[in-house]
Amino acid sequence: MTTTEPATDKSGPVVETDASNSNKAIALKDKANEYFKNQDYLKAILLYSEAIELDGTQAALYSNRSIAHLRLENFGYALSDATKAIECDPNYVKGYYRRAVSYMALGKYKEAVKDFEHILKISQAGKETRLRLNECKKLLRKQAFEKAISVDYDKSVAASIDPDHMQVEPNYDGPHIVNGKVDLEFVVSLIKTFKKGKKLDKKYAYMIILQVAELFRKCDSLVDVKIPDESKFTVCGDIHGQYFDLLNIFELNGLPSSTNPYLFNGDFVDRGSFSVECILTLFAFKALYPNHFFMSRGNHESQTMNQMYGFEGEVKSKYSSTMYDLFTETFNLLPLAHCLNKRVLVMHGGLFSSDTVTLDDIRKVDRYRQPPDEGIMCELLWSDPMAKHGRAPSKRGVGIQFGPDVTHHFCEFNNLDYIIRSHEVKNNGYDLAHDGKMITVFSAPNYCDAIGNLGAYITMTGKTLIPDFHTYSEVPHPDVKPMAYASSFFGLRA
């Protein structure tokens, strides 16, 4: 394969079947391909599924639905569809490629290597596939190396960086940190600098990251937040590199301060192409108001997601590999959840495969690592609610889906009023499920410049903790497309 190949197939091997159904399936596929090109992946998936109902013998249908699921991060479904494409045609190259990318998204590099190697055996794929295979092997070696070494502070990236001895670029005209301390004047100037499309000098970027790393290092994996009775508190969901929409939240709801505290609930980066500006602004507010500005880790604060969805490429383009490594290390320090006045739990993903998880279990999780593919940490970052009772395998391939009975039991077991999570796009920017005990908030409007959803944030007072929902539309931003820094290696650019 080459990087110039279309993301979806217009044709593919067709086994003899009912001619009428086969023709209808082809027509549906063509229509679905148009929705895919317009980034309406949900509609594309529905049409691919209709086509498969009519004719389940076409490998291209499963392959196309697979990449649509990949775009939506439904890695479990993407893997299943790629495998079905291969079952339809054991020599179908794109099936193996889609499956390899799905395996990589799930951190299963050994399986991905096998599929890339098989592509070379059955096709004339050549140079491009070999490059992908070598990159995958490199990631596999890196993964093995990271498991083998100690992660103590003396061997950390942070310990090797000394911004005090860095020189500011001579032509730099942005804000300066004076006496090593982030102040409000600096943060306001930083926002103006980023709005103009300018960069923060690397010296100050390193200073901010190192300062917040030390703050996060002192936190438990679950942070208890005390909100005074009459004080307002704001919870925001996914931002995903949509910097100008982040600034709109501050325009609508006020800048963070000691009297206007915020909690941002993960997925600050990736997808949107202003992720560096988002994370540095949020980190600057954390450094300025350490006891009134809170951040939870999302599933996109991880190496695998950052490699696929653009943050790694963006940091390396705007700064350096060393700074990306420092971000990666700092993301490992982010708390996994927050508990508001001992009554409301806030995490990025969702609940657990066990009925006996307590808040103290979350508090004690060893989070200083890349997210595992099972257990409490994984489920906090990846799980999703569903309408039916019980538990089910996740469409994402990691975490679980859980029903209202699971939510009610967890809240009762841990004396909670309700739960706030993020992780999923919602048309209105928020959603109430499980009799109001499972609230989703998503703060990136018109996600990826394509979905058309509203964004939302939640405010409440400490005494009642009754959620008040605020919605808003997207605002204009510079003409830089989402995923602009994503690697073409994964085939996930829009």
Residues recognised as catalytic: 300
Q: For residues 431 and 424, give the distance between their C-alpha atoms in angstroms, rounded to a whole number.
A: 10
Contact 93, 106 (CB under 8 A): no
- Contacts for 188-197 with beta carbons within 8 Å, 24 or more apart? 188/255, 190/280, 190/281, 190/284, 191/247, 191/281, 194/243, 194/274, 194/277, 194/280, 194/281, 195/244, 195/247, 197/478
Return phi, psi of residue 107, to 5°: 75, 15
Nearest to 381 by CA among 414, 347, 356, 344: 347
Span between the terminal Cα atoms of the chain, in Å: 18
Q: For residues 334 and 216, give the distance between their C-alpha atoms in angstroms, rounded to a whole number.
A: 6
Task: Please enumerate in sequence order all residues whose Cβ is within 8 A of that of 266, keeping only pairs 6 or more positions apart, or say none.
Answer: 237, 238, 295, 296, 297, 298, 299, 300, 301, 348, 381, 422, 423
Residue 263: CA atoms inside 13 Å, Cβ hemisphere, count?
Answer: 32
Sign of CA dihedral 424, 425, 429, 435: negative
Q: For residues 313 and 225, give the distance between their C-alpha atoms in angstroms, rounded to a whole number.
A: 34
Residues linked to residue 260 through DSSP beta bridges, in sequence order: 257
- Could you please report the per-residue DSSP string of 305-374? HHHHHSHHHHHHHHS-HHHHHHHHHHHTTS-SEEEETTTEEEESS---S-TT--HHHHHT---SSS--SS
Q: For residues 248 and 254, give the distance between their C-alpha atoms in angstroms, rounded to a whole number.
A: 9
Nearest to 158 by CA among 32, 332, 377: 332
Residue located via tokens 């996109």: 300
What's the one-letter identity of residue 182? Answer: V
The token pair at 358 is: 């307590």
Beta pairing class for 232-236 and 455-461: antiparallel
Nearest to 336 by CA among 304, 305, 375, 303: 375
Count of beta carbons in the 10 Å neighbourhood of residue 161:
18
Q: For residues 49 and 29, give the distance between their C-alpha atoms in angstroms, rounded to a whole number.
A: 9
Beta pairing class for 391-393 and 344-347: unpaired
